[in-house]
Chains A and B, each alone.
Chain A
Amino acid sequence: MKTQLLRGAVSVVLGLGSGLAIAFVWSSLHAPPSAPASMAPGALAGVDPAASDSKPAEPLDTEAQALALWSSKLAEHAAEAIDEPWSSIASRKLHVDLEQLADERGFSLTRTDCRTTSCSATLRWPSYQAAIDGFSALLHAGYQVSCARRITLPEPDDPDQPYDATILFDCSTDRRAM
Chain B
Amino acid sequence: MIQRTRALFVASLCLAAIAATTTSDAEAKWTRTTPWACHIIQGTALDTNWALQNDSTTNELVALCPIVDSDYLLKQNLTRVNVHVRDGHGSASARALLCESNYTTAGGACSAPASSGDSFVGNTTLSPSTTNVWSTATAAYFGYIYVAMPRKSGTSRSNFRGYWTED
**A interface residues, Cβ below 8 angstroms from B:** 4, 7-8, 11-20, 22-24, 27, 32, 34-39, 45, 56, 59-63, 65-67, 69-70, 131-132, 135-136, 139-140, 142, 146-155, 170-174
Contact = CB atoms under 8 A, between A and B. Distances in A.
B46 interface: no
A56 B72 CA distance: 12
B99 A139 contact: yes
Interface stretch (B30-38, B125-133, B155-163): B125-133
Contacts of B24: 23, 27
B148 to A, nearest CB: 8
Interface in B115-159: 115, 129, 131-133, 136-140, 146, 148
Interface residues of B, number: 51
A51 B92 CA distance: 53
Interface string B25-68: 00000000000000000000000000000000000001000000
Contacts of A59: 139-140
A11 B105 contact: no
A36 B77 CA distance: 10
A15 B11 contact: yes
Contacts of A131: 106
